[in-house]
């Protein structure tokens, strides 16, 4: 099930040929052109599907998600065994599809409240069967089913990993100790890496930390406990950030004017910056007041078009920045 308009989708109806498959192949080829690996993050929204996409949804239990940031969500029901098996098969098929398209691996999104996380968390899982939260084995069963299903359809060299919250910041959620148990189980299942807190020196599974890292000092310190650092929104504005840090040209990411608590704005800005790059333009930089002012105007236009679109779901592209434009690679920052 799609989370929102514009998401990339793979279903068992998608063949290993044709225009869609060719586009995934082109994406993998471009991403790996300079020696990088490409690992696709795959997910199912569960109860987090937008109501405009589907008025009903499937989840661990029938726990409704309250409206947030102007969005309303489909009414969930507790997944049946048949539905869970179908979803497991869909995850496995997506992994096989991506491997055939040239991807190096997948990351199962088990964080941020998506379907896998809905089975892991007591806030959303009220089941009393073997998929309930009475034990770690139970709460892990759905994710374990997916991992086994995926591994049965991909080659041994294909990376299979998971993204997890190390702690869920709400009463009744996942605790650090429980997150550790989850990771221990994933290691036994043969996962290559998971994003969580460190499990100790004897672990074989690789651990990566994502979110909040902007300065080299804290990044280096974190490597005492984890194997790597993920850069998301900072790299959207500075696509050469990783190489600049490694080669000593930067001591960290430039700080945007958007405050950390303004999550929706910073997330939409990152999407707009990536859209700039996709159109062959340098990304705009959020440390410039004039750029931010222009972006806010463009956001207003975008929300107006979204309101006009209603339930047609035709307004799917990110915000398009209309300020000064430079060709990608022709200069550094695009500033007003």
Catalytic residue ranges: 114
φ/ψ (deg, to 5) at 263: -60, -50
DSSP-derived 3-state class of residue 316? coil
Q: Rounded to an integer, what distance in angstroms lies between the CA atom of residue 213 and that of residue 257?
A: 16
Helix (H) / strand (E) element for 297: namely helix 289-309
Torsion sign (Cα): 93, 188, 176, 209: negative
User: Residue 47 gets which letter from DSSP?
Assistant: G
With contact defined as beta carbons under 8 Å apart, do 236 and 282 qualify? no
N residues, the chain = 336
> What is the torsion angle, in degrees rounded to the nearest 10, for the CA atoms of residue 180, residue 40, residue 36 and residue 27?
-170
Q: Could you give the maximum distance between any two Cα atoms of the chain, in Å?
A: 59
Helix (H) / strand (E) element for 242: namely helix 241-246
Beta strands in the chain (DSSP E): 39-42, 56-59, 75-78, 105-109, 159-163, 193-195, 206-210, 228-230
Instruction: Kindly give the pairing relationship between strand 206-210 and strand 228-230.
Output: parallel
Q: Which residues pair with 295 in a beta bridge?
A: none
With contact defined as beta carbons under 8 Å apart, do 238 and 244 qualify? yes
Q: Which residues, other chains included, contact 29 with Cβ-Cβ below 8 Å and sequence gap of 6+?
A: 102
């Amino acid at each position: 099930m799609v989370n929102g308009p514009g998401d990339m989708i793979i279903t068992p109806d998608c063949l290993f040929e044709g225009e869609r498959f060719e586009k995934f192949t082109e994406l993998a080829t471009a991403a790996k052109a300079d020696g990088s690996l490409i690992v696709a993050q795959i997910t199912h929204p569960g109860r987090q599907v937008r109501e405009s996409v589907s008025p009903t949804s499937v989840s661990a239990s029938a726990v409704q998600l309250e409206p947030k940031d102007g969005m309303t969500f489909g009414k969930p029901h507790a997944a049946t065994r048949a539905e869970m098996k179908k979803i497991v098969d869909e995850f496995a098929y997506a992994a096989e599809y991506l491997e055939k398209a040239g991807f190096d691996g997948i990351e199962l999104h088990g964080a941020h409240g998506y379907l896998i996380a809905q089975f892991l968390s007591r806030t959303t899982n009220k089941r009393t069967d073997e998929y309930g939260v009475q034990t770690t084995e139970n709460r892990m069963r759905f994710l374990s089913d997916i991992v086994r299903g995926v591994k049965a359809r991909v080659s041994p060299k294909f990376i299979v990993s998971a993204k997890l919250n190390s702690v869920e910041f709400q009463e009744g959620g996942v605790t650090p100790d429980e997150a550790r148990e989850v990771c221990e189980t994933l290691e036994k299942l043969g996962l290559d890496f998971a994003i969580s807190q460190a499990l100790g020196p004897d672990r074989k599974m690789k651990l990566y930390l994502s979110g909040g890292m902007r300065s080299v000092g804290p990044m280096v310190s974190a490597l005492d406990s984890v194997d790597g650092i993920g850069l998301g929104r900072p790299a959207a504005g500075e696509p050469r950030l990783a190489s600049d840090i490694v080669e000593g040209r930067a001591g960290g990411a430039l700080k945007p004017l958007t405050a950390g608590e303004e999550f929706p704005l910073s997330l939409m800005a990152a999407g707009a910056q990536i859209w700039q790059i996709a159109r062959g333009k340098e990304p705009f930089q959020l440390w410039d007041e004039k750029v931010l002012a222009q972006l806010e105007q463009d956001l207003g236009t975008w929300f107006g078009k979204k309101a006009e679109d209603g339930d047609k779901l035709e307004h799917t592209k990110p915000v398009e920045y209309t300020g000064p434009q430079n060709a990608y690679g022709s200069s550094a920052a695009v500033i007003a």
